[in-house]
Amino acid sequence: MRIGYVRVSTEQQHTERQQVILNEMDVDKMFVDRCSGKNMNRPQLQEMLSFSRAGDVIVVESISRFARSTRDLLHLIDVLTKKDVQFISKKESLDTSTPSGRFMLTVFGALAELERDQLRQRQLEGISIAKNNGAYHGRKRMVNSEFDRIYAEWIEGRITATQAMKKLSWSKSTFYRRVKERKISDEKIN
């Protein structure tokens, strides 16, 4: 059986391009993840690994859709090899059924990881330059006009912190950062 694996990083991104490519490669079944590839805790990836059997072929559009680090890539390929499952990446023209394909897989995996690390480095350099020029101020602050009211309810013990976070649609770190800012502000007033 030819099994396709598709991954996009967010719910807003589209999978059609990858799906068309895999359908052209005659996949019988497709697994689609809509989450970051930074680790292997992806539901459809895990389901696909469990589903695959000896003799199957896993087909992906590119290595970067399958794994984001060389270590993860080599681990996944090792899992597939132990199950006697082949791996094909369309973009890199890789096929693990051949010795040269297995070698090139390692090389391309290392290059993909290098590219990702360089992108992250360029991004940090760009942010640093923008900060020095006064053009970068971080992400926009999450604003909720209900904070004062909900904060008061929480301080008075009428709701829990978890309930306050849910009402505000804020993460735990955002909520407690705002609470800390509010307490500092209140101390300055008093």
67 burial class (0-12, 13-18, 19+ CB within 10 angstroms)?
buried
The position carrying tokens 């992108």 is 119
Compute, in degrees rounded to 10, the torsion defined by CA atoms 10, 167, 170, 173: -140
State the first-to-last Cα distance of the chain, in angstroms, to the nearest integer: 71
Strand order in the sheet with 29-34: 29-34, 2-8, 57-60, 86-89, 94-95
Question: DSSP class of residue 159?
Answer: S
Block residue for tokens 């590839």: 37
The contacts of residue 187 (CB under 8 Å, 6+ apart) are: none
Q: Which residues are catalytic?
A: 9
Amino acid at 154: W
Tell me the chain's radius of gyration from C-alpha atoms. 23
